[in-house]
Structure 1
Amino acid sequence: MSWLGVQNLGSRKFTCGHCGNIVASSAGYTRNGSNQRIYICSHCGQPTHFDVNYQYPDIAPGNDVQHLPEDIEGLYKEARNCVAASSYTGSVLISRKLLMNIAVREGAEEGKPFIYYVTYLADKGYVPPNGRGWVDHIRKKGNEATHEIASMSKSDAEELIAFLEMLMKFIYEFPNKIPC
């Protein structure tokens, strides 16, 4: 089977995994004898592959967080992009690392066992009320991804990103929105 040249495939609405815009595109490629389609984003011009309902690259979960230190922002983006690339175990591992980096950035000592960083964030008030269980959940999922054979799922990665987004908004974004 070969890919046929650019043609009108009929309009398809999707969120582009490259630029994040909701677009409707009809231009793209089809593979003869299959349900596979590659649509060209009408905003950024990048290709998005569809095989039935599967999209690649997928949409990165979560939202941008304002006022993040550069290293924290880079890890957060990497964790989100891993999900878009269907690298769920990688996203969970980066989420664990991100939690450790947040703790160190906020004054925790480097080179300690991971539980130290979880405790540090909770004891210093960086974790919202009833949030300690979530921080511990990231620790457990990260340990599972590191030390066990089983791979992580998309929902595992998405739930950790959702919590980390909230945590980083609590630590970095919201305090910077209040005028001094």
Structure 2
Amino acid sequence: MTRARLTSTLVQPRATNVAGLPPDVQALYDEARRCIQYTSYTSAVLTLRKLLMHVAVEQGAEPNKSFATYVGHLDENHWIPPNGREWVDKLRSYGNEATHEIKVMSEEEAVQLLDFAEMLLKFVYEFPSKLS
């Protein structure tokens, strides 16, 4: 009789850690990373959409407004990097599909948005914190 060997594989989260994040932004970023790690791509897209809303409020937007209001605030106050508006529109579009349509998001879609979120968080939080 042979015994089966059980091994556990630790799946590393996608994207890298970002320094200087406020606690709620950190929690949402980590949640999105875990969603992708465990192939919950639709959940990741929805979490990344919510993450952008939290970033906007952290940067001075009024709470309890529409997603479009938050995007406008980030854009008008130059928190979206050059050429980043197209990515924000992609996040809006994918988020709307995940929320309002019967659609399952793909790994590619979720990973693209996570990559954008990582870059945005570094731009908004990590790099400025290194100057302090």
* Number of matched pairs: 131
Indicate which of 98, 103, 106 corresponds to 1:150. Answer: 103
Report the counterpart of residue 65 of structure 1 in structure 2.
Answer: 18
How far off is 1:123 after superposition? Answer: 0.7
Structure 2 residue identity aligned to 1:128:
P
Secondary structure of 1:135's aligned partner: helix
TM-score by length of 2: 0.93
Amino acid at match of 2:43: G
How far 1:58 sits from its partner (Å)?
Answer: 4.1
Q: Deviations over 1:18-66 (max 9, x none)?
A: xxxxxxxxxxx3xxxxxxxxx3xxxxxxx12xxxxxxxx6432110000
Q: Does 1:77 align with 2:77?
A: no
Which amino acid is the alignment partner of residue 175 of structure 1?
P
Q: Distance in 2 between matches of 1:60 and 1:140?
A: 24
Counterparts of 2:39 and 2:3 in 1: how far apart (Å)? 26
> Which of 1 and 2 has higher RCO (CA within 8 Å, sep 6+)?
2
**Counterpart of 1:150 in 2: which secondary structure?**
coil
Name the residue aligned to 1:159: 112
- What corresponds to 2:89 in structure 1? 136
Answer 1 or 2: which has greater strand percent: 1
Question: SS of 2:99's equivalent?
Answer: helix
Structure 1 counterpart of 2:65 = 112
- Matched to 1:160, the amino acid is L
Structure 1 gaps of 5+ residues are 7-28, 30-38, 40-46, 49-56
User: What TM-score does the superposition give when structure 1 sets the normalisation length?
Assistant: 0.69
Whole-angstrom distance in 1 between the partners of 2:82 and 2:3: 56
Instruction: Summarize the Cα distance change of 1:4–1:116 in structure 2 as closer, same or farther, 3 Å threshold.
Output: farther
Q: Deviations over 1:60-99 (max 9, x none)?
A: 2110000101110000000000011110000000000000
Identity over aligned residues, as a percent?
A: 48
Determine the C-alpha separation between the residues in 2 that align with 1:153 and 1:60. Answer: 17
CA contact (8 A) 1:65 1:173 kept: yes
